[in-house]
Amino acid sequence: MPSSPSASRGPGPARVRAAVPCGLALAAVLVLALNLRPGATTLGPVMQELQASLGLSGTVAGLLGALPGIVFGVVGFAAVRVGARLGMSASLAAGAGLVVVGLAARATVQDAGRFLVMTVVALSGMALGNVLIPAWVKLHAGSRTTALMTVYSVFLTLGGSAGALVTAPIAAAARDDGEGWRWALGAWGAVALLPLVVWIVLARRTGHDFPAVGAASGDGGSLLRSPTALALTLLFGVQSMNAYVQFAWVPQILRDAGLSAGVAGAAVAVTAGLGIAGALLMPTVISRSRTLASWMVLFGAMTALGYVGMLVAPVAGVWLWAVILGVGGFAFPTVIALIPARSRDPHVTARLSGFAQPVGYVLAAIGPFAVGLLHEATGGWTAVLVLLACSGAVMTAAGLRVAGRVFVDDELLAPR
């Protein structure tokens, strides 16, 4: 029986959680996570074909690379309010619908403007999922929070990796006239139908589900007062910037070094795919560890080393650098899992997710766009790779601040 809106007040969250069987919650999180990244990761491997087919300039191509961060940031700021108005499950169903429409429609357009618009539509649906899933899990999963966040992180990473891996081969197999990218990108619109159906069913079952304000949530405090929230935001932003630069530009960096489109796409898929190991590992590490300091140093060091290696020996060491960058990318499932782990109250989790992810994605959006401009200005990739290597130090500094068992709720309640 669907839970009522009142079921999310006072002691009600337990009744809301009971309305979602474990199997349904698992399936819903799994299929949605799988579809929250291909809209972004599928563009890099066919960017050259997109530029030729739609007449994209280098600046517009850079904007396409930056769009995930921009849209995830802008729409993410509104996601918590949307969730409060519609309920989180209904909002996630609506987001899945936007993903279907945007991904399917952009594969049919004939000009750059419409392609950009449909990409924004798809990314807007993904932005709702990015922000609301951690809070949805915190509200509905109870003792299964770590397990569901592990599933979420694994399939989020798997979807991104699959998008990077299969796009170029599908495009090459579908057409040999430079238009195969339409089939390769459009196929993901069909894949996204599954989460749309599942979340419609789930929304009908849960009714209006949004976490109530807990007595000890510190709801009136600004998240700007929380050093943990700020550090999580910076860590999220720097890591996401690196991820979207990798999705948008590393394939082209490797192609310019002499590798084929298929090998370049596969290298990025290896980097992204190693995040699956991180997604399986890090939620459990977080729940059992007193400190993550050594992990945060490792993430920053591997990120820096991977870019330096790509600068020195991009062809001979391509698979080694892909693996090293993949280990550095463990920072992503770590920061995603830290959002519920560094908050106690589901309402604080929603607020933290609605702050750290949008602000972080706005920071991340600067990366791909700046890379496009810097590459055009310098005519090469040396300056780009040096600056990306330096980002590893920033990642470590932010990570060390959230490495211990600190909680945003406590900081919001602390006297001014």
Residue 13's pLDDT band (cuts 50, 70, 90): very low
Which of 6 and 378 is assigned the larger pLDDT?
Answer: 378
| DSSP summary character for residue 259 | -
User: What is the rounded CA–CA span in Å between residue 185 and residue 43?
Assistant: 8
Beta bridge partners, 291, equal 404
Does 16 score more than 50 pLDDT?
no
Q: How far is CA 394 from CA 62, 110, 239, 245, in A?
A: 23, 41, 10, 16
pLDDT tens per residue across span 351-400: 899 999 888 888 877 888 888 889 989 999 999 999 999 999 999 999 99
Distances (CA, A) of 47 to 90, 202, 356: 34, 36, 29
Q: What is the pLDDT of residues 262-300, one digit of tens each?
A: 888 889 888 877 888 998 999 999 988 999 999 999 999
List of domains in the chain: 5-212+221-413 (1.20.1250.20)
Token pair for 414 = 């602390």
Residues 6+ apart with CB under 8 A from 199: 28, 32, 89, 92, 93, 96
| Rounded Cα–Cα distance for residues 374 and 366 (Å) | 12
- CA-CA distance, 259 to 159, in Å (whole number)? 24
Averaged over 301-311, what is the pLDDT?
Answer: 96
Q: What is the mean pLDDT of the chain?
A: 86
8-state DSSP, 132:
H
Rounded to whole angstroms, the Cα distance separating 163 from 168 reads: 9
User: Band of the pLDDT at 212, cuts 50, 70, 90?
Assistant: low
- What average pLDDT does this structure show over 136-150? 86
User: How buried is residue 291: exposed, middle or buried, by Cβ count under 10 Å (0-12/13-18/19+)?
Assistant: exposed
Look at residue 416 in the predicted model and tell me its pLDDT: 62
Q: What H or E segment, with its residue span, contains residue 414? A: none
Mean pLDDT of 196-213: 86
| First-to-final CA distance of the chain | 45
d(CA 42, CA 17) in angstroms, rounded, equals 35
Over pLDDT 90: what percentage of the chain?
Answer: 46
Is the CA virtual torsion 102, 103, 107, 108 positive or negative? negative
**pLDDT at 60 > cutoff 60:** yes
- As a whole number, mean pLDDT of residues 238-244 equals 88
Residue 195: its H or E element: helix 193-206
pLDDT-derived band at 218, boundaries 50, 70, 90: low
Closest CA to 370 of 393, 358, 387: 387
Nearest to 173 by CA among 69, 274, 261, 113: 261
Residues in the chain: 416
Per DSSP, the three-state class of 404 is strand
Tell me which of 307 and 363 has the higher pLDDT: 307
Q: Which of 27-31, 83-87, 153-157, 164-168 has the lowest mean pLDDT?
A: 164-168
Is the pLDDT reported for residue 217 higher than 70?
no
Give mean pLDDT, residues 12-25.
61
pLDDT grade, residue 314 (50/70/90)?
very high
What token pair was written down for 95? 């987001």
Q: How many CA atoms lie within 13 A of 232 on its CB side?
A: 33
pLDDT at 297: 97
Q: Specify the pLDDT at position 158.
A: 85
Grade residue 15 by pLDDT with cuts at 50, 70 and 90: very low
Task: Quote the tokens at residue 315.
Answer: 């062809």
Residue in this structure with the two tokens 């590490």, named with its chain if needed: 285
Between 270 and 19, the higher pLDDT residue: 270
The residue type of 314 is: P
Q: Is the pLDDT of residue 90 over 90?
A: yes
- What would the pLDDT profile of 104-115 be if each residue is shown by its tens digit? 999 999 888 899
- pLDDT at residue 19, as a whole number: 60
The residues, any chain, with a CB within 8 Å of residue 20's CB and separated by 6 or more, are 140, 202, 205, 206
What does residue 404 show for φ and ψ, rounded to 5 degrees? -85, 175
- Model confidence at 311: pLDDT above 90: yes
Alpha-carbon torsion 78, 392, 334, 233, what sign?
negative
pLDDT above 50: residue 53: yes
Per-residue pLDDT at 317 exceeds 90: yes
**DSSP line for 217-239:** S-TTS-GGG-HHHHHHHHHHHHH
pLDDT of residue 361: 83
Least confident of 8-22, 148-162, 289-303: 8-22
